[in-house]
A and B are shown apart, each in its own frame.
Chain A
Amino acid sequence: MTKPLLALHNVSLSFKGVKALTNLSFTVQAGQVCALIGPNGAGKSSALNIVNGVYRADSGRIVFDGTRFERIRPLKAARLGIGRTFQHNALFKHMSVLDNVMAGLTRHTRTGPLSHAFHLPRGRREEARMRERAEQVLDFLHIRPHRDAAAGTLPYGVQKRVDLARALVAKPKLILLDEPMAGMNQDEKEEMSGFIRHTNRTLGTTMLLIEHDVGVVMDLSDQVVVLDYGRKVGDGSPEAVRNDPEVIAAYLGTVH
């Protein structure tokens, strides 16, 4: 049995007495695409937000890449190699696409602000390396034509890709994708899931994603974790989950 990249152990979270997650445990193996599904309010976003430290669990613990923590801050999560995208567009909307992606490299900067501000050789070399890396990611996700556009002015689907590029450029071990295909039509969804799969296959980046469209999820994922009212009701391969009576009762059965 290989060591999982991410493991949640008995994680619970409540907001002012309302339970969002109850004793949630699951693991994600390195290099896999894992989807969190469940009806609205099932706790999917809460789980994601706990992994990158936006929320703090009331109890339970998380092990990521051998580091064990009970609570973590977003900054620390970024340092450990956890990147994320956001459900609602959270791009730096006044900045160019390139600057958005460059900002994604923040945790990789080594030279100080002074050597950069005064264009010292070290700062210049690092700047050049960062730019090259950012440009590669723009090519990888086919957003180079939008390189200099202000992110906030781009079509929705492109913004979602810029969000992914900003997370991806830092070479995270794990990317959390919060509804990467929300609000897209079928073509856009297929395109986006193509990029997610391409990223996973080519770069080996582990993905933990939330998605409502069960068809897309079953297609894309190696593993599916089903939540209902903050509890895990299913966990396994898409086929196994699809045939799990408890899952069908809780969730899949309600799809019309």
Chain B
Amino acid sequence: MDFFVETLVGGLLAGVMYSLVAIGFVLIYKASRVFNFAQGSMLLFAALAFVTLTEHGVPFWLAGAIALLLMILTAVLVERVVLRPLTGRSDLTLFMATLGLSYVIAGVAQAAMGTDVHALDLGIPDVPINVGPIQVSEFDLAAAGISGILVIGLSLLFTRTRIGISLRAVADNQLAAQSVGIRLDWIWRIVWSVAGFVGLVAGLLWGAREGVQFSLSLVVLKALPVLIIGGFTSIPGAVLGGLIVGASESLAELYLGPLIGGGLSAWFAYVLALIFLLVRPAGLFGEREIERV
């Protein structure tokens, strides 16, 4: 029984890391109806900038601040060069634009900072510690704590600030938001910047675990089933989706893995996502758009 609980908890904690990536998508999707495939590259860019700076002796917090500034700069550029010219174009056009953007960001980041694999040490040991009867990774616990703080911070931003009111207004109805004088360009810059910040946090945590390299940008593929399960428009959905994916992956690997020779965790989340697409296409918290006839 303890072993089951341990696997479950380990899976849930790993799932938090998926949630973190998915939240970046949700933020941008809510505000601009863009499925931002470049979220993974933004995450890579942020982590690569951070690790390159620290390797050159820049202190931790300063490196973090500079990486954040780079994310904000990226957000401003994306708004100006991609979103504004493509306003009103089809969802597919915008998706393709972010697909291109993904390669541009990853390419620029690697051209500037190289393609080496960097080890990233955040000073949190990845060792198991005893929590009651079970063992969990200290790193996983720290990552979950950081993610929790981030989610609380985001929900305060959305519900307690005037920017939050504007953000939610734009998410609900762009035309009406403009009619009351909300500036879409600023909302997009802010949202992409916040998504960049979430990407920075996710990039550091993922980078510390897997090393900072190009493959870091592929965590988007882990976020996709999370989004399908949780819904594209809900931060709680992204959190819950990540937990479901993390836990079910670990449990499937443990119980089904031996039957079919392992390697389940690479694709199990997609099976789950397919089931959700058939049964609940809008995801757990997503909204089914009702088209006006």
User: Contacting B181 at CB < 8 Å: which of A75, A91, A117?
Assistant: A75
Evaluate contact between A99 and B180: CB separation under 8 angstroms: no
- Which of B165, B173, B180, B183 has most chain A Cβ within 10 Å? B180
Question: Would you give the 0/1 interface string for B7-32, flagging 1 where the beta carbon is closer than 8 Å to chain A?
Answer: 00000000000000000000000000
In the complex where A74-B178, A166-B180, A170-B181 touch, is A127 in contact with B168 (Cβ < 8 A)?
Answer: no
| Nearest CB on A from B191, distance (A) | 13
Evaluate contact between A90 and B178: CB separation under 8 angstroms: no
Asked if A177 is an interface residue, CB under 8 A from chain B, the answer is no
User: Contacting A102 at CB < 8 Å: which of B165, B178, B183?
Assistant: B165
Residues of chain A in range 26-83 having any CB-CB distance to chain B below 8 Å: 52, 54, 73-75, 77-79, 83
In the complex where A167-B180, A170-B180 touch, is A74 in contact with B175 (Cβ < 8 A)?
Answer: yes
Residues of chain B in range 208-256 having any CB-CB distance to chain A below 8 Å: none
Across the two chains, which residue of chain B brings its CB closest to A76? Answer: B181
Asked if A86 is an interface residue, CB under 8 A from chain B, the answer is yes
Asked if B179 is an interface residue, CB under 8 A from chain A, the answer is yes
| Interface residue tally for chain B (C-beta within 8 Å) | 22
Main secondary structure of the interface of B (DSSP, over half): helix
Evaluate contact between A104 and B180: CB separation under 8 angstroms: yes
Q: With a CB–CB cut-off of 8 A, which chain A residues contact B292?
A: 88
Q: With a CB–CB cut-off of 8 A, which chain B residues contact A100?
A: 169
Give the complex CA separation of A90 and B163 in angstroms. Answer: 20
Q: With a CB–CB cut-off of 8 A, which chain B residues contact A229?
A: none
Give the complex CA separation of A79 and B183 in angstroms. Answer: 11
Asked if A23 is an interface residue, CB under 8 A from chain B, the answer is no
Q: With a CB–CB cut-off of 8 A, which chain A residues contact B163?
A: 113, 116-117
Asked if B161 is an interface residue, CB under 8 A from chain A, the answer is yes
Q: With a CB–CB cut-off of 8 A, which chain B residues contact A88?
A: 292
A-B contact sample (4 more), CB < 8 A, given A78-B180, A103-B180: A78-B181, A88-B292, A102-B165, A103-B165
